[in-house]
Structure formats: structure tokens, C-alpha cells
Amino acid sequence: MKRTLLTGNGAAAWGARLAGVDYIPAFPITPQTEIIEAIANWADSGEISGRMVTLESEHSMITAAGAAAATGVRVFTATSSQGLLYGMEMLYTVAGWRAPFVLVNVSRGLSAPITLEPDHNDILAARDSGFLQIHCATCQEVLDSILLAYRLGEDERVRLPVIVNMDGFYLSFTREPVEIPNQDVVNRFLPPYDPENISFRASQPTSQAVAVLGGGPYSYFRYEMHLAAQKSIEVFDKITRQFSEEFGRSYDAVEAYRTEDAEFIFVMIGSFATKAKEAVDRLRDAGRAIGLIRPRLLRPFPEAQIRRLLNGKKGVAVIDQNLSMGKGGILYTEIASALYGQPDAPPILVSFIGGLGGRDISQEEFFEMANNIRRAVEEGSAPPPRLLYTEGEMKEVRKLQAMANVERQM
């Protein structure tokens, strides 16, 4: 075991290296590139035995990843944003092949307008693809989650590919102290890939991913995937327990921070939850009974854990770093559906949209959101969803617009 400073991207590359991946189909996109560059260098220098191939698109990259996994090797790949969406047809397709592999997504806002900075619309567009999703908040968690993801996806009760998600810039380019576990401990935790009955061999001819006729067989196979994904919550719990025995770090499906005696809760996914934790501490210092929950798993959706943590609370603020046009925050909708009809559900659920395209969420804004939930609880009604946006930002945009107008007239 060694402790070193690694970026989120560096941690992802190490995760793949420790998992002993055989095959790495790749395609570059900011802010993911450092992952595949690190792996390419290791492959060139012989430090890893895995073979890396750069495809001509993410659509092809995900096809090759799925096809190689279906042939029986351990596969790793990584992308971000436009790349994830470019490959979207294949995300859905290869998930149906039931051949597990791990894909790291480095979240980045989607075009248009084009940006390099993060939010979660890319990863949430893959929500219903059949890939399981693990969301990370620290660089250590990125490395560890990749090991967990292989165990989870390859489990005979699951057999689904897994996306490990981290935020671009805030994690991908941020150096944090990371413990790199010893290879022999990793090997104990993560045995070699067993393709079971999914493989292509001359002696065992097989037709994979064939057509079906009619809704009967189609529904059957699709629902099987759903059941496997649901089952994976239980499997995840078992695996994380073993992980914490081996490595001394534990990863519940939902991270709970100072929730026990809390009356109010923030709900967030990803690295901005670290900012929320800081706000929770400061609010606690001021005597406010507030806490945070951060679902690590988004698919499968850890409904029971979320209910357990939120039922009985007075008010909850869901902070979404994404926007479903014409509806609002996606996480908000998911949390609401988990709580609806629960006898002990929190009466107030408030939706905030923030952190789009890398926009920061300030401590003051967390305090303001805390005030908002408290007020809503006192008044007994939740305010409409709000976008976190300051007057200063509005002025800045107005200035840009004025400049654009001048440019146009020149």
C-alpha cells in the first residue's frame, strides 16, 4: 500500500491497472484524456499487460468494449459528456448483452452551448440504459469504486456493465491524497474475470444478442435486466462489507452525513457534496439540526436506504446539478418518487438547480437553501423549484449580451 497525490483521472487509471484489465478500447475527450494517456503509457512501457486500442468514435469504442467483454476478457473504458451521448445507442445495446465491464464517465455539461465544465446531464442521460451507476465524491472513491464496480458487475447475480462517475475538473483534475492498495490484496478481493456462459469459442458456437419476435420475449429479457439491477443493491452491500474488511474503507450505497438527529437534509450526488458537508458543519456550529445524504448508487436506486434516512425528517432540499427541460431536477423527481405515500415521509421537499456547467455553489447559497427549507416547514408549503443564480451573474450575462450586440453591428 502506498499513499500518494493523485487526480481523479489518475485514480481512475490506477483503478483499472489494479483490476488487471485485459482490454482498453479508448477515444479521447476532455476532461477524460489523462486516464487513457496514463493507461497508454503503462501499456507501452509494459507496466500493464492490457491492450489499448483507440477506436474512431465512442459509438465504436463501446461496441468494441461490449464485444470484447462478450468474448470473455476484462474490459475498461472511459469517456465524458458528448462522447457518452455519441455512444448512447451502444450503451443500451451492450447492457443487454449481459457482458460486464467498467466505464468511467467524467461528467461534463452537454452542448449546446458547448462547455468543458461539469454537470450531471451527461450521466443522467444514461440513467435508463441498463448500466449500473456509482457516483464518486473523492479521488480515493474513484479508485475504490472501480474495484467495487468489477466485483458488482461480474457477480453471477448481476452480470451488467457499470459506470463509475466523477465530476470533471473538480475531481478529474484535483489532486488528493489517495491510498493505492497492494496488488495482492486487490487480487484477493477481485478474482480474475469469469465469463461464465458468455463467450465466443470455436468449440461452443453461440448466437448472442439476437432478435426476438413480439413483446413477450422482449419484456422477459428486459425485465430480467431490471431484476438483476435491483438484486445488485443487496450484492453491493455484501461486496462493500468485504471491501471494508480488506481495505478499511467503507462505502454504503448512500452516504449519510450527520443525519441522525437532523431535522433537515440536503440531498446531492457527486463531488459538490463535499461543499455541502462543509456547509452542514457550519450550520451545525450555528445550532441548526441539518445533515446530508449522498446516494453513491444511482442505478440501482437505493430506495429503501433513502427512505430509512429521510423518513421522519421535517424538510429536505434536493440539489440537482442537471436540468430536465420542461420538468426540472432529475434527482428531485427520483427522491420524490421514493418518498411518495410513505407514512412518515418528510412533508417538505424543495428542489434547487445549481452547479450547471461547472458553476460553483457557494457556502452562502447552502445557508440560504437551509433557510428556505426551514421557512417552508414553518409555512407548511414547499416553494417552487429554484435556480441558484446571483444578481452578479445576471449582470455579467447582460454585459456579454451587450457586447455580442455590438459585435454583431460591427
Partner 1 sequence: MDETRFKRIKDLPSTHILGTGTAMCAGCGGLEAVHEVYDILGEKTVFVNAAGCMTLLSIYPFTPFRGSWLYTAMASAPAGAQGIRDALDILLEKKRIPRDEDMDVVVLTGDGSAYGMGLSATSGAMERNLDFIYLCYDNEGYGNTGQQYSSATPHAARTSTSKGPKGFPGYKKDLFSIWVAHNPLYVATVLGAEPLDLARKIEKAKELKGPRLIIALSPCPTGWDFDPSESVEIGKLAVKTGIWPLKEYIDGKVVHTKVPDRRLPVEEYLKKQGRFAHLFSPKRNDKLIGEIQESVDKYWKGI
Query: Phi, psi (5° rounding) for residue 289?
Result: -90, 80
- AA identity, residue 152: L
Residue 217 binds partner 1, judged by CB under 8 A: yes
Residue 203 binds partner 1, judged by CB under 8 A: yes
**C-alpha cell read off for 254:** 448512500
Residues 260-319 that bind partner 1 (CB under 8 A): none
**C-alpha cell read off for 147:** 474495484
Residue 26 binds partner 1, judged by CB under 8 A: no
Residue 223 binds partner 1, judged by CB under 8 A: no
**C-alpha cell read off for 227:** 431484476
Nearest Cα to Cα of residue 110 among 79, 139, 141:
79
Question: HEC states along 280-326?
Answer: HHHHHHCCCCEEEEEECEEECCCHHHHHHHHCCCCEEEEEECCCECC
Among 22, 122, 252, 365, binds partner 1 (CB under 8 A): 22
Alpha carbons 309 and 332: distance in angstroms, whole number: 15
- AA identity, residue 18: L
Alpha carbons 66 and 98: distance in angstroms, whole number: 9
Of 5-13, 52-60, 270-278, 333-341: span binding partner 1 (CB under 8 A)? 52-60
Comparing CB distances to partner 1, the nearer of 75 and 290 is 75
Write each residue from 55 to 74 as x if it is in contact with partner 1 (CB under 8 A), else as -, in one continuous string.
Answer: xxx-xxx-xxxxxxxxxxx-
> In Å, how far are 68, 312, 323, 347, 380 from 342, measured between CA atoms?
44, 10, 26, 10, 18
Of 48-56, 230-238, 296-304, 341-349: span binding partner 1 (CB under 8 A)? 48-56
Of 47-55, 152-160, 163-171, 299-307: span binding partner 1 (CB under 8 A)? 47-55
The enclosing H or E element of 79 equals strand 76-79
Comparing CB distances to partner 1, the nearer of 201 and 327 is 201
Of 197-205, 236-244, 258-266, 357-365: span binding partner 1 (CB under 8 A)? 197-205
Among 187, 206, 381, 405, binds partner 1 (CB under 8 A): 206
Alpha carbons 59 and 124: distance in angstroms, whole number: 18
Nearest Cα to Cα of residue 252 among 211, 306, 183, 204:
306
Residue 147 binds partner 1, judged by CB under 8 A: no
What's the closest the beta carbon of residue 67 comes to partner 1, in angstroms? 3
What's the closest the beta carbon of residue 23 comes to partner 1, in angstroms? 6
Nearest Cα to Cα of residue 298 among 331, 258, 250:
331
Write each residue from 82 to 121 as x if it is in contact with partner 1 (CB under 8 A), else as -, in one continuous string.
Answer: -------xx--x----------------------------
Of 107-115, 205-213, 226-234, 293-301: span binding partner 1 (CB under 8 A)? 205-213
> CB atoms < 10 A from the CB of 104, how many?
31
- Interface residues with partner 1 (CB under 8 A) are 22-23, 25, 49, 51, 53, 55-57, 59-61, 63-73, 89-90, 93, 200-203, 205-213, 217
